[in-house]
Amino acid sequence: MSNTKIDSKNWQKIKTELQPSHIFKKDKSSAVIVSGILVGLMTTILSISFAVLVFGKAIPDALSIGIGMALFSNVVLHICSAFASSGEGVVSHVQSLPPPIQAAMLSSLMSMLPLSMSLDNRTTVAVFAILFSAIFTGGVLFLFGWLKLGRLVRLLPLPVISGFLASVGFALVLGGIATMTSVSVTIASLPQFFSLALIYKWLPGMILAVVLWIITARIKHELTFPTILVIAVVLFYAVYFVLGMSPSDMMKGNLLLGPFAFNQLWTPSYMYINQIHTVDWTLIMGHIGLIATIPLVCFIGGLLMLSAIEFSTGVEGNPNVELKMLGASNFISGILGGGFVGYPSTTFTVMQYKLGAKTRLAGILSAIVPIVVLIIGTSFLGYIPRFAVGGLLIYFGYQFIDHWVVKQSSHSTKPDIAIMAAIVLTSLWFGFVASIGVGIFAAAAFFLFKYSQTSVFRYVSTGASLRSRVTRNEMHEEWLAVNADRISIFGLQGYIFFGTAHNLHEEIMNHVTNASQQPLDCVILDFRHVTGIDTSVVQSFHKLYLQLNRKDITLIFAQMPPKYQGLMQKIGLSKDEAIKGFAEFANIDEALEWREDYLLEISNLPLYETRSLLAVCTAHFKDAAKAEILLQYLTRIELAPGTKIVQQNTVADNLFFLESGRLSTYKEIENLPPIRLQTMVDNTIVGEIGFYLGELRTATVIADKPSIVYCLTLDALAKMEREHPLVAIALHRLIVEKTATRVNHVFKSVKGFM
């Protein structure tokens, strides 16, 4: 389905869900209001925490500006998801995956600025860097949605996804500790965190994270989370008031977010336009590697959240439409002055559904809370304890660690755990950009390893089990049943590359050198189910040819894809040239027929003499008189090569007995070459199925060489049944036995593939 059709269908659905009669339902109004306020309150608290993570270390004097940007981003994300999400009631907000990357980018950028640069100019650089990251992320996500890449996340190996998201979890935990102590967590600084001067700063936040983790896991109520936060903050102030510390003392001790250098929380982006000349864009673009990881984690995190929402609510969303909505909302946020990146939330979407607020109005109402905070300004934000912000970051960080490391490791293999550990350790020691490289390498290595473990063989058979579609005389059939296992057949499948080529070569050569079987005549490789061949594999096939040729074993390719035949020609394996010990055919049936004919030709079988139809019927009836009577009802016909005796889709009013020669049946398909179904030699019956069932012919029958057939019509059969019923009964038995023999031949051919 085209993007235009999908968008049109989605917008029609949204327009219906935004009708006043739909969103203003009286029986749901209270639930919608409560849900909107709760979601707005909690996402506001979270966005403040993420703003502290991003600005708190890089440029703490501009923290109030960062908080304002995060709050405004929440407003945009709430409203955009309410008006444009593919699922009704889906909540989007500033999420926890992007902030650690934005924090790393901003910290690195600020460290490169000259110390003499004024706070205003440093703030301008920081604002433009964050805005650019949101605009870039929005554009990339929209492009992903437009290109219909929404299902691509399912192709990423789980260990790689786990490693990426666990890395973000560790960054959130470390960022939470740094937020509370104002000291970066490094190996060198670890001893400091166990000094009394820092323990009293990070320990309350750690306790808060543990309490949140334990209680929210046991009490599944929407008020649990904010209640714990309120109690924690009240206890914090109570303890410090008992200790005789005033709020101003707490601020001096860096226990609170305040004081702020700027009284204004948020400034529209156009207010910074006249300062754009002060920004060194080469410095910002020098961090494009970090910035480019933001849309990647949003792509993974956003689509994983969307899948979880579908699973939890039963409401199916369109991942490509959702990607375009996310791209547009983050782009708008960046353009207008937000800059903090977000995507759908499983937690808050499910909470709205549980409260009965399955409506887009709840998302609109949730934007009111951050708007109110923006209007009030910094007057109360400075009194938010740092331990509460740090505890939230640790709590959300450990959620990622628990889900993507602890729980995944319990049922992961050692290689999977090694991949996750490599990505996490790389991100901690060398940063997110390096971890992306490790992740891409790990994904490729993971795919190659897993795919190389998949068998390249769809089936393995011999010529005795898998026969050509040529129905031969009894003597040849019996001989081939015993001796055709000298034909070894390997049905290949999937994509053949260097990782599977070695196994293919070893398996074939082990089979060739098996002392318990007859010496092989040929090896047939059936490429019918092969989806691709790597160029590095060509030499492996050439090596196989040389080894087989030294053992006088012919290598045969069947149904080699035309686009890979050129690769084989480069090593001298071409169907257009006579090459000793090599042949190539259009399909497996032709290859089998050619080699069966060859084995019969070099066998010591006595010359087969064709028997007349009279002799065959006499032997079958054990009564020459009945055979002679039968022939009186048949018409003898001599056929030249190419004569068509049965036409597909015509009335089946006769059948034929092949006395000598050779006939082939073909399935005719419009605009395609005819497909050979079977080739028959003497003493075979043709056309009996349609003849007995009274149906149209299902195939066309053509003489391959000069042949003699006897024709029995429906009228002649009816006359025989009246005049010589015993002969007719004997004929029916003959036809049943011949048909059963042919069906058994087909069954053996099919069984060879199983």
Q: Provide the percentage of residues in the chain whose pLDDT is more than 70.
A: 90
Q: How many CA atoms lie within 13 A of 723 on its CB side?
A: 11
pLDDT digits (tens, 9 = 90+) for 598-649: 999 888 887 777 888 899 899 888 889 999 999 999 999 999 999 999 999 9
Q: Using 50, 70 and 90 to split pLDDT, how confident is the model at 721?
A: very high
The DSSP code sequence of 413-482 is -HHHHHHHHHHHHHHHHH-HHHHHHHHHHHHHHHHHHHHHHS-SEEEEEETTTS--SEE--HHHHHHHHH
Distances (CA, A) of 669 to 276, 416, 652, 674, 699: 68, 49, 19, 6, 10
Amino acid in position 155:
L
Cis status of the peptide bond prior to 259, with omega within 30 of 0: yes
On whether the CB atoms of residues 680 and 686 are closer than 8 A, the answer is yes
| Number of H-type helices and E-type strands within the chain | 30, 14
Can you give the length of the chain in residues?
754
Q: Which range is least confidently modeled, 106-110, 143-147, 169-173, 663-667?
A: 169-173
* Sequence-ordered alpha helix ranges (H) in 182-223: 196-218
pLDDT digits (tens, 9 = 90+) for 300-321: 888 878 877 776 676 667 788 8
Residue scoring higher pLDDT (331 or 312): 331
Q: Which pLDDT does position 1 carry in this prediction? A: 47
pLDDT digits (tens, 9 = 90+) for 156-205: 677 887 887 888 889 889 988 988 998 888 888 888 999 988 998 999 99
Q: Which pLDDT does position 24 carry in this prediction? A: 60
CA 566 to chain CA mean position, Å: 31
Residue scoring higher pLDDT (513 or 706): 706
Q: Which pLDDT does position 717 carry in this prediction? A: 93
CA–CA gap between residue 692 and residue 362 (Å, rounded): 70
Amino acid in position 704:
D
CATH number belonging to domain 457-602 = 3.30.750.24
Residue 502 has pLDDT above 60, yes or no: yes
pLDDT digits (tens, 9 = 90+) for 139-153: 999 999 999 888 776
Q: Where do the domains of the chain lie?
A: 28-411, 457-602, 613-751
Amino acid in position 610:
T
Q: Using 50, 70 and 90 to split pLDDT, how confident is the model at 737?
A: confident
H or E element at residue 708: strand 700-713
Predicted model pTM: 0.63
Distances (CA, A) of 351 to 42, 142, 348, 354: 12, 27, 5, 5
Distances (CA, A) of 386 to 160, 171, 261, 302, 601: 33, 17, 17, 28, 92
| Token code pair at residue 398 | 């450990």
| Token code pair at residue 200 | 């009293």
CA–CA gap between residue 76 and residue 82 (Å, rounded): 10
Q: Give the CATH class of 613-751.
A: mainly beta
Of 693, 745, 512, 727, the residue nearest 617 (C-alpha)? 727
CA–CA gap between residue 559 and residue 497 (Å, rounded): 18
Q: DSSP class of residue 649?
A: T
Residue 407 has pLDDT above 80, yes or no: yes
End-to-end CA distance of the chain: 37
CA–CA gap between residue 734 and residue 630 (Å, rounded): 12
Q: Show Cβ contacts of residue 601 under 8 Å, excluding neighbours closer than 6 positions.
A: none
Q: DSSP class of residue 87?
A: S
